[in-house]
Structure 1
Amino acid sequence: MAVRVLPPPSWWYLLPLLLVASVHSYGGYGGLRVGFYKESCPDAEAIVRKVVAKAIAKDPTASAPMLRLHFHDCFVRGCEGSVLINSTKGKEAEKDAKPNHTLDAFDVIDEIKEQLEKKCPGTVSCADILAIAARDAVSLATKLVTEGGWSKNGNLYEVETGRRDGRASSAKEAVTNLPDSFDGIRKLTKRFASKGLSLKDLAVLSGAHAIGESHCPSIAKRLRNFTAHHNTDPTLDATYGAKLRQQCRRSEDNTTELEMVPGSSTTFDTAYYRLVVQRKALFHSDEALLRNDETRRLVLDYLRSEKSFLQDFGVSMVNMGRVGVLTGSKGEIRRRCAVVN
């Protein structure tokens, strides 16, 4: 695929100020730290892990929805649990915004919260539950972790905790802030930069598309009437595009499940990057990684070293988990994740 080198975006000078995290950093950030509940609720992470493991044992595809919930939370108002709040009369919440119509695993989060409230009432935030559950879900989907080749405690990375929950949720803000599957590299870099995330974070976190499924509306524009000059997105492999058109005969079909990585949608590895290079990744935003020198280099690097990808993924997840957090006396600890206190 031809790659056009773009000029540095206008926010390039901000890169030295971007957040830097270490997956093993215990120093914390802005009130967050690894082991925040060590004294107040020592079993918190074990309880989350147990419920997540049970959900994945029952349905191996459950790992991606839990990871996705954390992403969609952090990109709107920050990582403060607003994606979990129910709509009320006159106030449409994030979960009911069009980009979130296919979000799932709310029942898993509710079960975790119920068990934590019994064990440690009013202590563990819903925002932290999302962060821990995402880490556990992706860890359980990673062979290098589950087969003992990564960490002794079964974690792909350590999660900083200490977040508190927000009290508001807006569908309009979700539409404005969430990355779109049709975004190009310019828009993606701007969206990530607005959250203090770098080009490297963009390339690494896109690797989350190694697991899970999507639906026809998310790729409909790539398949038909892409532009006035191209019926199909010319960056999509023609043979794969024809196959997808057969699967998505109706653009609005929200029931047909499309594996992000066909045949490997429950295993977290670097197969996604192979599809990007082959022009067989589902989203236009995936192909966009080849339109910038740095992100393209990272795609090729991760194809050569899965361990490098997994290590960098942990760092970028910590970076993302710091976006817009509420700590200290800000926000609240919700008793129920779907309802503010």
Structure 2
Amino acid sequence: MPKYIVEGGFNFYEELYKSLDDELVDTPIPDDTQNSTNDFNNVCLISNLPLTDKFVTLECKHKFNYMPLYNDLVNHKKKYNTMERKTLKCTEIRCPYCRNIQNKLLPYYDDIEISKVHGVNHISETTLIMNQFDNVSCKSYIAGTCSHEYMCSDGTTMPCTNSMVTLLCNKYYCANHKYFGKMAILKEIKIKEKLELHAKILEAKKKILEEKKKTKLAAKMVKDLAKEEAKKVKACAKAAKVTTHAENIENVIISTQSGCVQLLTTGKNKGKSCSCAKIYQNNLCLRHHNLINKNKPYDGTGTNYGNPEQAGLWVQWVNGQEPEPDTDPDPEPK
């Protein structure tokens, strides 16, 4: 370290270091470690946006939103890059943050509008078989019998005579006939896929028919309820109409009654109204008015009986005398 000549006993650099040390001691250091960790765990490490519902946590514990990670993996696995030192297998994906390789693909979600990509979120059986048949090395051939059979003109079959074969999809094929084995297996896979698709279509049609039946049944129930309500309303209206008609008839009969309305209790017209044309009070003739009110005390106004005979009865009653009983029988109406 160079030595400096200090004038007046003042060392500039020593004092500068002391001032820097004092500032470091006096300045409080914020403890944002926990907040930084929380922010790191709650954001996508590609887009730096908050994690959504369907985020992905890789084996290295790094978290990503689904679509940014999906796009990165598709770009990495489907585009040739000369800077890559290692080619990933179809069952491997790489973390874009730490480059850790894991043997687990992304999950596939039907509600996200993305396509199935082999080696990213889907394993295609057809692609695996094609890769297996195309990437056959010479070291994989062993002594054995080829599974391919020739078709003769007479309809019989003849086995292949090649003795060097390789194992492909649980069968042994020679170098000349591995293509035929690949095509036969691909044909089986296509038939299987068609059957699965047909089963899915039938299941979808079945669900549609069930929904139609439920809808039709619900519509029928609503229609039946509407019919029942209409019947009830019609019955109520009919009953109200009958009641109104009966009231109108009764009103007409009462209003057209021109004579005394008192019903006779004796004689050949028993049960019929008196029908005396001359009305005295309250739709009653003088005789029936007096018979109904004969035992009632006179109110002194002369209006409840209104005739000399009843007035005399009132006088007898006031004087404490017993009124003479009415011995005249009920006459027949004239």
With structure 2 as the length reference, what TM-score do the two structures score?
0.19
Q: Larger Cα Rg: Structure 1 or Structure 2? A: 2
**Larger RCO: 1 or 2 (CA < 8 Å, sep 6+):** 1
With structure 1 as the length reference, what TM-score do the two structures score?
0.19
